[in-house]
């Protein structure tokens, strides 16, 4: 965990990373807020070498996003954050932030969901972007050739014309051991958090890239329709990682939301 920004700031921003990256994913976005806000970034258990053993010894705790959300609430409690704290989460980190806001709404003031999906698997009346055969193919690819899967996944996540970002993301993915990656993928791809959406009580910003190979626009619209007091901002960014590939655009969207009345 890292504390940065203005130490005595009235408001705190907590950044929650998604699959395959550590807290460094937020570096460029965080720079935009370091003069005015206290900043907290953290590494999920299982995302960096120093906590791999904790993940393996408590694997049952991380079989779904609820375990990560409990960790996030505990960390925020230990830091003594107050009701002026803003949660910013990406992908599964967005769902973790959302669940944490439901578990302990008094700790937080606003919620920002970047590239979030409550369910990836298609269902009757719901288009999550993946059918069962797609998900089975992901598991098979990770089992068969982890390095190749990571390269293909990273290229799809970062979008076109982002070869260097794709290379960096693939390296970050493969730092996580294969068996642990399979556990985390199962916790993401087999989850269904749709029933939690109406329970969100905070003002919420849903940020969606114009082109996202993993989260269709229909999913962002589904979130917006079911999360009370939410706004949807489709930003001019390609890929599932706008905090990496378009940090200035994402930072502007966040600032407009958190500084609005």
Q: How many other C-beta atoms are found inside a 10 Å radius of the C-beta of residue 259?
A: 8
209 in catalytic set: no
Spot the catalytic one: 44, 151, 212, 251: 212
CATH number at residue 52: 3.40.50.1820
* Domain region containing 207: 2-258
pLDDT at 69: 96
- pLDDT for residue 160: 74
In SS3 terms, the chain reads as CEEEECCCCCCEEEEECCCCCCHHHHHHHHHCCCCCCEEEECCCCCCCHHHHHHHHHCHHHHCCHHHHHHHHHHHHHHHCCCCCEEEEEECHHHHHHHHHHHHCHHHEEEEEEECCCCCCECECCECCCECHHHHHHHHHHHHHCHHHHHHHHHHHHHCCCCHHHHHHHHHHHHCCCHHHHHHHHHHHHCCCCHHHHHHCCCCEEEEEEEECCCCCHHHHHHHHHHCCCEEEEEEEEECCCHHHHCHHHHHHHHHHHHCCC
Model confidence at 83, in pLDDT bands (50, 70, 90)?
A: confident
Question: For residue 207, is pLDDT > 90?
Answer: yes
pLDDT higher than threshold 80 for residue 237: yes
* Active-site hit among 91, 101, 117, 209: 91
pLDDT tens sequence across 121-177: 999 999 999 999 999 999 999 999 999 999 999 999 998 778 999 999 999 999 999
Retrieve residue 155's tokens.
């290229």
Please indicate whether residue 240 is annotated as part of the active site: yes
Among residues 193, 240, 243, 251, the one annotated as catalytic is 240
- How many domains does the chain divide into? 1
């Amino acid at each position: 965990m890292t504390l940065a920004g203005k130490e005595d700031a009235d408001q705190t921003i907590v950044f929650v990373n998604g699959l395959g990256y550590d807290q460094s994913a937020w570096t460029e976005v965080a720079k935009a807020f370091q003069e005015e806000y206290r900043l907290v970034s953290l590494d999920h258990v299982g995302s960096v070498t120093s906590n791999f053993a904790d993940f393996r010894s408590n694997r049952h705790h991380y079989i779904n996003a609820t375990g990560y959300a409990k960790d996030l609430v505990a960390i925020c409690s230990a830091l003594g954050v107050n009701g002026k704290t803003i949660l910013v989460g990406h992908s599964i980190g967005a769902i973790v932030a959302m669940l944490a806001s439901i578990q302990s709404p008094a700790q937080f003031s606003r919620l920002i969901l970047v590239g979030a999906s409550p369910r990836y698997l298609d269902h009757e009346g719901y288009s999550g972007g993946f059918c069962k055969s797609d998900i089975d193919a992901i598991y098979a690819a990770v089992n068969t050739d982890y390095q190749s899967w990571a390269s293909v996944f990273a290229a799809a996540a970062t979008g076109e014309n982002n070869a260097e970002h794709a290379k960096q993301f693939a390296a970050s993915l493969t730092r996580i051991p294969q068996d642990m990656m399979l556990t985390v993928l199962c916790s993401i791809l087999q989850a269904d958090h749709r029933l939690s959406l109406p329970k969100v009580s905070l003002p919420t910003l849903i940020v969606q890239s114009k082109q996202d190979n993993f989260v269709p626009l229909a999913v962002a619209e589904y979130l917006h329709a079911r999360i009370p007091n939410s706004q949807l901002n489709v930003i001019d960014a390609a890929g599932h990682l706008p905090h990496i590939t378009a940090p200035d655009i994402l930072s502007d969207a966040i600032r407009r939301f958190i500084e609005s009345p």
